Amino acid sequence: MVKYDTLLFDLDGTLTDSQEGILNCIHCAAEKMGFELPEDTQKFLGPPLYQSFAEFLGMNEEQVNEAVKIFRERYSTVGLFENRVYDGIPEMLKRLKDGGKRLMVATSKPQDYAVRILERFGLLRYFEAVGGACLDGTRNFKHEVIEHVLAETGISDRSSVLMIGDRKQDVLGAHKTGLECMGILWGYGSYEELTEAGADMIAETAEEAADMLLA
Protein backbone atom coordinates (compact mmCIF):
# COMPACT_ATOMS: atom_id res chain seq x y z
CA MET A 1 0.00 0.00 0.00
CA VAL A 2 3.00 2.29 0.45
CA LYS A 3 3.19 2.56 -3.35
CA TYR A 4 0.51 5.29 -3.30
CA ASP A 5 2.29 8.60 -2.82
CA THR A 6 -0.62 10.80 -3.94
CA LEU A 7 -4.17 10.44 -2.62
CA LEU A 8 -7.16 12.05 -4.33
CA PHE A 9 -10.19 12.41 -2.07
CA ASP A 10 -13.81 12.82 -3.03
CA LEU A 11 -15.58 15.42 -0.86
CA ASP A 12 -19.32 14.71 -0.40
CA GLY A 13 -19.80 11.41 1.41
CA THR A 14 -16.06 10.97 1.95
CA LEU A 15 -14.74 13.96 3.90
CA THR A 16 -18.03 15.58 4.87
CA ASP A 17 -21.65 14.51 5.25
CA SER A 18 -23.36 17.07 3.04
CA GLN A 19 -26.63 15.29 2.37
CA GLU A 20 -28.82 17.69 4.39
CA GLY A 21 -27.78 20.72 2.34
CA ILE A 22 -27.84 18.92 -1.01
CA LEU A 23 -31.24 17.32 -0.50
CA ASN A 24 -32.78 20.52 0.88
CA CYS A 25 -31.63 22.39 -2.22
CA ILE A 26 -32.80 19.64 -4.59
CA HIS A 27 -36.21 19.67 -2.90
CA CYS A 28 -36.35 23.46 -3.27
CA ALA A 29 -35.52 23.29 -7.00
CA ALA A 30 -37.96 20.45 -7.70
CA GLU A 31 -40.79 22.12 -5.79
CA LYS A 32 -40.34 25.48 -7.54
CA MET A 33 -40.36 23.76 -10.94
CA GLY A 34 -43.30 21.47 -10.21
CA PHE A 35 -41.42 18.17 -10.22
CA GLU A 36 -42.08 15.42 -7.69
CA LEU A 37 -39.00 13.85 -6.11
CA PRO A 38 -38.65 10.04 -6.20
CA GLU A 39 -38.97 8.13 -2.95
CA ASP A 40 -35.25 7.29 -2.95
CA THR A 41 -33.55 10.68 -2.76
CA GLN A 42 -30.21 9.10 -1.77
CA LYS A 43 -29.54 8.52 -5.47
CA PHE A 44 -28.94 12.28 -5.82
CA LEU A 45 -25.88 12.02 -3.58
CA GLY A 46 -22.83 11.38 -5.73
CA PRO A 47 -23.62 11.98 -9.44
CA PRO A 48 -23.10 15.43 -10.99
CA LEU A 49 -26.09 17.72 -10.47
CA TYR A 50 -26.81 18.14 -14.19
CA GLN A 51 -26.93 14.37 -14.62
CA SER A 52 -29.16 13.84 -11.57
CA PHE A 53 -31.87 16.32 -12.60
CA ALA A 54 -32.01 14.83 -16.10
CA GLU A 55 -31.83 11.16 -15.11
CA PHE A 56 -33.91 11.08 -11.93
CA LEU A 57 -36.51 13.79 -12.67
CA GLY A 58 -36.71 13.50 -16.46
CA MET A 59 -35.85 17.16 -17.07
CA ASN A 60 -34.82 18.41 -20.49
CA GLU A 61 -31.71 20.56 -20.96
CA GLU A 62 -33.49 23.87 -20.42
CA GLN A 63 -35.20 22.59 -17.27
CA VAL A 64 -31.95 21.15 -15.95
CA ASN A 65 -30.20 24.50 -16.33
CA GLU A 66 -33.02 26.26 -14.48
CA ALA A 67 -33.05 23.64 -11.71
CA VAL A 68 -29.28 23.99 -11.23
CA LYS A 69 -29.68 27.77 -11.03
CA ILE A 70 -32.37 27.47 -8.31
CA PHE A 71 -30.32 24.85 -6.48
CA ARG A 72 -27.24 27.06 -6.41
CA GLU A 73 -29.13 30.16 -5.28
CA ARG A 74 -29.89 28.37 -2.02
CA TYR A 75 -26.78 26.21 -1.84
CA SER A 76 -24.28 29.06 -2.20
CA THR A 77 -25.66 30.87 0.85
CA VAL A 78 -27.33 28.26 3.08
CA GLY A 79 -26.98 24.68 1.86
CA LEU A 80 -23.21 24.86 1.60
CA PHE A 81 -22.84 24.72 5.36
CA GLU A 82 -25.72 22.33 6.16
CA ASN A 83 -22.86 19.91 6.44
CA ARG A 84 -20.53 18.20 8.91
CA VAL A 85 -17.12 16.55 8.91
CA TYR A 86 -17.23 12.78 9.37
CA ASP A 87 -15.78 11.39 12.58
CA GLY A 88 -12.08 10.61 12.33
CA ILE A 89 -11.44 12.60 9.13
CA PRO A 90 -9.13 15.30 10.58
CA GLU A 91 -7.13 12.61 12.38
CA MET A 92 -6.88 10.51 9.21
CA LEU A 93 -5.73 13.45 7.11
CA LYS A 94 -3.12 14.46 9.67
CA ARG A 95 -1.72 10.93 9.85
CA LEU A 96 -1.50 10.68 6.07
CA LYS A 97 0.06 14.13 5.71
CA ASP A 98 2.58 13.41 8.48
CA GLY A 99 3.29 10.10 6.76
CA GLY A 100 4.51 11.93 3.66
CA LYS A 101 1.45 11.49 1.42
CA ARG A 102 0.42 14.20 -1.05
CA LEU A 103 -3.27 14.91 -0.45
CA MET A 104 -5.63 16.41 -3.02
CA VAL A 105 -9.38 16.73 -3.56
CA ALA A 106 -11.20 15.64 -6.73
CA THR A 107 -14.94 16.36 -6.49
CA SER A 108 -17.83 16.85 -8.89
CA LYS A 109 -18.97 19.72 -6.66
CA PRO A 110 -18.08 23.17 -8.08
CA GLN A 111 -14.49 23.93 -7.14
CA ASP A 112 -15.33 27.25 -5.48
CA TYR A 113 -17.85 25.57 -3.17
CA ALA A 114 -15.40 22.79 -2.31
CA VAL A 115 -12.72 25.28 -1.26
CA ARG A 116 -15.20 27.22 0.89
CA ILE A 117 -16.38 24.05 2.65
CA LEU A 118 -12.88 22.77 3.33
CA GLU A 119 -11.83 26.18 4.63
CA ARG A 120 -14.93 26.48 6.84
CA PHE A 121 -14.23 23.13 8.52
CA GLY A 122 -10.45 23.60 8.89
CA LEU A 123 -9.53 20.89 6.37
CA LEU A 124 -8.09 23.01 3.57
CA ARG A 125 -4.62 23.07 5.13
CA TYR A 126 -4.17 19.36 4.51
CA PHE A 127 -4.57 19.58 0.73
CA GLU A 128 -2.04 20.55 -1.88
CA ALA A 129 -4.71 20.99 -4.55
CA VAL A 130 -8.51 21.10 -4.79
CA GLY A 131 -10.16 20.25 -8.10
CA GLY A 132 -13.85 20.41 -8.85
CA ALA A 133 -16.48 21.15 -11.46
CA CYS A 134 -16.83 24.53 -13.16
CA LEU A 135 -19.90 26.65 -12.45
CA ASP A 136 -20.68 26.75 -16.17
CA GLY A 137 -21.42 23.02 -16.14
CA THR A 138 -18.13 21.86 -17.63
CA ARG A 139 -15.61 19.51 -15.99
CA ASN A 140 -18.61 17.86 -14.40
CA PHE A 141 -17.71 14.17 -14.34
CA LYS A 142 -15.24 12.53 -11.98
CA HIS A 143 -12.78 11.45 -14.67
CA GLU A 144 -12.65 15.04 -15.96
CA VAL A 145 -11.94 16.38 -12.49
CA ILE A 146 -9.23 13.78 -11.90
CA GLU A 147 -7.56 14.68 -15.21
CA HIS A 148 -7.69 18.35 -14.22
CA VAL A 149 -6.06 17.73 -10.84
CA LEU A 150 -3.30 15.58 -12.32
CA ALA A 151 -2.58 18.17 -15.01
CA GLU A 152 -2.57 21.08 -12.56
CA THR A 153 -0.11 19.31 -10.25
CA GLY A 154 2.10 17.95 -13.01
CA ILE A 155 1.64 14.30 -12.05
CA SER A 156 2.59 11.88 -14.83
CA ASP A 157 3.17 8.62 -12.93
CA ARG A 158 -0.38 7.44 -12.31
CA SER A 159 0.72 4.17 -10.73
CA SER A 160 1.48 6.06 -7.51
CA VAL A 161 -1.93 7.82 -7.36
CA LEU A 162 -5.04 6.48 -5.61
CA MET A 163 -8.61 7.81 -5.74
CA ILE A 164 -10.65 7.53 -2.53
CA GLY A 165 -14.44 7.85 -2.55
CA ASP A 166 -17.80 6.47 -1.48
CA ARG A 167 -19.76 6.00 -4.74
CA LYS A 168 -19.46 4.06 -7.97
CA GLN A 169 -18.74 7.32 -9.80
CA ASP A 170 -15.45 7.56 -7.91
CA VAL A 171 -14.45 4.02 -8.86
CA LEU A 172 -15.49 4.32 -12.50
CA GLY A 173 -13.91 7.77 -12.85
CA ALA A 174 -10.64 6.54 -11.36
CA HIS A 175 -10.48 3.49 -13.61
CA LYS A 176 -11.28 5.60 -16.67
CA THR A 177 -8.17 7.68 -15.93
CA GLY A 178 -5.95 4.68 -15.19
CA LEU A 179 -6.06 5.00 -11.38
CA GLU A 180 -6.97 2.47 -8.73
CA CYS A 181 -9.66 3.37 -6.22
CA MET A 182 -10.31 2.76 -2.54
CA GLY A 183 -14.01 2.60 -1.75
CA ILE A 184 -15.06 3.79 1.72
CA LEU A 185 -18.13 2.69 3.66
CA TRP A 186 -18.83 5.62 5.98
CA GLY A 187 -20.39 7.64 3.15
CA TYR A 188 -23.43 7.16 0.91
CA GLY A 189 -22.42 4.11 -1.13
CA SER A 190 -22.81 0.47 -0.11
CA TYR A 191 -20.34 -2.40 -0.15
CA GLU A 192 -22.32 -3.94 -3.00
CA GLU A 193 -22.25 -0.76 -5.09
CA LEU A 194 -18.51 -0.32 -4.65
CA THR A 195 -17.56 -3.94 -5.32
CA GLU A 196 -19.81 -4.13 -8.37
CA ALA A 197 -18.13 -1.00 -9.72
CA GLY A 198 -14.76 -2.70 -9.24
CA ALA A 199 -13.25 -0.95 -6.21
CA ASP A 200 -9.67 -2.14 -5.78
CA MET A 201 -9.92 -2.09 -1.97
CA ILE A 202 -12.46 -1.06 0.65
CA ALA A 203 -12.12 0.59 4.07
CA GLU A 204 -14.89 0.65 6.65
CA THR A 205 -13.62 3.55 8.78
CA ALA A 206 -11.31 6.54 8.42
CA GLU A 207 -8.91 4.93 10.88
CA GLU A 208 -8.81 1.72 8.84
CA ALA A 209 -8.22 3.72 5.66
CA ALA A 210 -5.21 5.45 7.22
CA ASP A 211 -3.87 2.13 8.53
CA MET A 212 -4.12 0.58 5.06
CA LEU A 213 -2.56 3.55 3.28
CA LEU A 214 0.36 3.79 5.69
CA ALA A 215 0.98 0.04 6.04
Name the CA radius of gyration of the chain, rounded. Answer: 17
> Choosing from 5, 10, 40, 200, which is the catalytic residue?
10
Of 173, 166, 164, 162, the closest CA to residue 192 belongs to 166
**Catalytic residue check, 200:** no
3-state secondary structure of 15: coil
CB atoms within 10 A of CB 58: 9
Cβ atoms of 3 and 158 closer than 8 Å: no
3-state secondary structure of 47: coil
Helices (H), the chain: 19-33, 49-57, 61-75, 89-98, 111-120, 142-153, 168-176, 191-197, 206-214
3-state secondary structure of 38: coil
**Residues contacting residue 133 through CB under 8 Å, at least 6 positions apart:** 48, 107, 108, 109, 110, 111, 139, 140, 145
Could you list the active site residues? Answer: 10
